[in-house]
Amino acid sequence: MTAKPPTRFDQLAQKWSKLAERRRAHFVELYKTGRWKHYYTEAEFFIQLREAFRAADEWEKVASASAGLRKAG
């Protein structure tokens, strides 16, 4: 069976997933360089860092599920 072409939802999920991944990478870079200290308190930074990781993981699940449904359908 052939795979269905990507829908608008699939494309949106991929875009948001990539954006969330870039945000996560940005926070990792802030952590590695220590620049986060210029912008956040330690508590604020780690809250934001956890949220960036959570969002990236959730969007990855959505994008993967969307692609999986397309292939299975």
Break the chain into its structural domains and give their ranges.
Answer: 16-72
**pTM score, two decimals?**
0.80
pLDDT reported for residue 7: 81
What pLDDT, in 10s, does the model give residues 16-66? 999 999 999 999 999 999 999 999 999 999 999 999 999 999 999 999 987
Residue type, 27: F
Question: Residue 71 above 80 pLDDT?
Answer: no
- At residue 4, φ and ψ (nearest 5 deg) are -75, 150
Residues 11-45: b if buried by 16+ CB within 10 A, e if exposed: eebbebbeebbebbeebeebeeeeebeeebeeeeb
pLDDT at 13: 94
Counting Cα atoms < 13 Å in the Cβ hemisphere of 21 gives: 10
